[in-house]
């Protein structure tokens, strides 16, 4: 791919940035160094250019400093594990299974990993989980554990597909994508990091659940638009653009256009859902409005970070006079 042009995707939500963004970026860099998550100078430079902390600072715009650092380091951890998953073929499946085993033990048993028995990804996650537990109750922790185990299982599904040279169908991919992106775990974090309380009757209400799913889909499908060239270079088929292209016999531009259309349709579904949210009483309605506000912030944050902050996808995105986007490889 040299350049590709398609209509600007729809996201009518305002850009936001947490006032502790600079502090979170510094704290995250120190945390990554302390746990030796990136070791070579090349890896450190790649990490600096990725600016993972900025995504969390945009997505959790009113979190306190302590809470924002948790979000920033958790999402950094997810990105670094995602890189391991993307690299994983025959020789690295055992490594990922070991990481998953450590993380599951940490989550389910509050297992403390000693440096000599663990590995950087496990040791750093143990630190994250300890800090999350300080700011949460047992009911929330149970929900977060489930969201993380769902994510880890989905990661193994992707790796197994790569080993078997098996491409998922569009339907299977859409079903699994909310889990492979780990966004349900981030959505669980909203209540803890933004100090929002939603009773079970609200959190489990079908409209609220559908809002969370729509937000998840919007973020993940937009990410697929920005990352498909990176994943194609790696031979990875786990991308909506790629599975649409293969299953429906589309050319690349048609697959990109269809992904953008699906994204925009899901944004409109989210907006329509917000207009059908029932009232749960004045105090709870205020909390729910804040929660929905963070979902909107997440959708905008993903775009702003991809456009303005990160060099992760090695792509340049510019806007034409007519409002179209032009993507070119750096």
Q: What is the pLDDT of residues 213-223, one digit of tens each?
A: 999 999 999 99
Round to whole Å and give the CA distance between 305 and 282: 34
Residues belonging to the chain? 330
Nearest to 68 by CA among 15, 26, 127, 130: 26
The sheet that has 324-329: what strands, in order across it? 3-7, 324-329, 315-319
Of 77-86, 190-199, 253-262, the one with minimum mean pLDDT is 77-86
* Verdict on whether the full-model pTM lies above 0.95: no
Angle, nearest 10°, between helix axes 138-163 and 93-109? 170
- Which residues make Cβ contacts (< 8 Å) with residue 146, sequence separation at least 6? none
Residue 27 to residues 24, 30, 134: CA-CA distances in angstroms? 5, 5, 18
**Torsion angle of C-alpha atoms 29, 19, 190, 151, degrees rounded to 10:** -30
Computed on alpha carbons and rounded to an integer, the radius of gyration of the chain in Å comes to 19
- DSSP per-residue letters across 185-231: HHHHHHHHHTT----HHHHTSHHHHHHHHHHHHHHHHHHHHHHHHHH
Report the largest interatomic distance among the alpha carbons of the chain, rounded to a whole angstrom: 57
Angle, nearest 10°, between helix axes 170-180 and 240-248? 170
Q: Is the pLDDT of residue 103 over 50?
A: yes
Contact 177, 253 (CB under 8 A): no
pLDDT band at residue 119 under the 50/70/90 scheme: confident
Angle, nearest 10°, between helix axes 41-50 and 21-34? 160
**Tell me: the pLDDT tens digits for 8-19?**
889 999 999 999
- More confident: 147 or 116: 147
Q: Is the pLDDT of residue 283 over 60?
A: yes
For 9-317, which CATH class?
A: mainly alpha
For residue 314, the model assigns a pLDDT of: 67
DSSP state of 306: I
Find the mean pLDDT for residues 274-301. Answer: 98
Taking residue 312's Cβ as centre, other Cβ atoms within 10 Å add up to 20
Taking residue 62's Cβ as centre, other Cβ atoms within 10 Å add up to 17
Round to whole Å and give the CA distance between 138 and 241: 39
Q: Is the pLDDT of residue 90 over 50?
A: no
Q: Which residues pair with 325 in a beta bridge?
A: 6, 319
Find the mean pLDDT for residues 81-102. Answer: 71
Round to whole Å and give the CA distance between 287 and 13: 19
Q: Which residue bears the tokens 């969370």?
A: 212
Contact 290, 194 (CB under 8 A): yes
For residue 163, the model assigns a pLDDT of: 84
For residue 107, the model assigns a pLDDT of: 93
Taking residue 42's Cβ as centre, other Cβ atoms within 10 Å add up to 9
């Amino acid at each position: 791919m040299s350049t590709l042009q398609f209509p600007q995707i729809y996201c009518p939500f305002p850009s936001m940035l947490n006032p502790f963004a600079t502090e979170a970026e510094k704290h995250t860099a120190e945390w990554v160094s302390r746990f030796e998550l990136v070791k070579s100078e090349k890896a450190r430079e790649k990490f600096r250019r990725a600016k993972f902390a900025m995504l969390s600072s945009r997505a959790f715009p009113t979190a306190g400093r302590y809470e924002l650092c948790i979000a920033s380091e958790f999402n950094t951890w997810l990105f670094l594990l995602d890189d391991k998953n993307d690299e994983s073929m025959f020789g690295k499946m055992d490594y990922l299974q070991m990481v998953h085993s450590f993380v599951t033990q940490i989550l389910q048993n509050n297992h403390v990993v000693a440096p000599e028995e663990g590995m950087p990804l496990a040791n750093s996650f143990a630190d994250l989980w300890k800090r999350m537990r300080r700011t949460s109750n047992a009911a929330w922790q149970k929900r977060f554990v489930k969201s993380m185990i769902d994510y880890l299982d989905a990661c193994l599904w992707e790796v197994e597909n790569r080993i078997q040279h098996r491409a998922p169908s569009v339907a299977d991919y859409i079903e699994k994508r909310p889990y492979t992106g780990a966004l349900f775990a981030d959505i669980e974090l909203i209540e803890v990091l933004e100090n929002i309380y939603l009773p079970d009757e609200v959190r489990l209400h079908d409209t609220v659940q559908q809002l969370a799913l729509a937000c998840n889909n919007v973020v993940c499908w937009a990410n697929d638009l920005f990352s498909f060239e990176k994943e194609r270079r790696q031979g990875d088929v786990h991308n909506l653009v790629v599975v649409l292209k293969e299953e429906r016999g589309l050319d690349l531009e048609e697959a990109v256009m269809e992904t953008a259309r699906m994204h925009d349709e899901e944004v409109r579904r989210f907006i329509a859902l917000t207009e059908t949210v029932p009232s749960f009483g004045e105090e709870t309605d205020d909390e729910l409005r804040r929660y929905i506000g963070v979902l909107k912030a997440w959708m905008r944050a993903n775009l702003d970070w991809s456009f303005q902050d990160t060099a992760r996808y090695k792509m340049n995105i510019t806007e034409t006079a007519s409002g179209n986007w032009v993507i070119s490889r750096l």
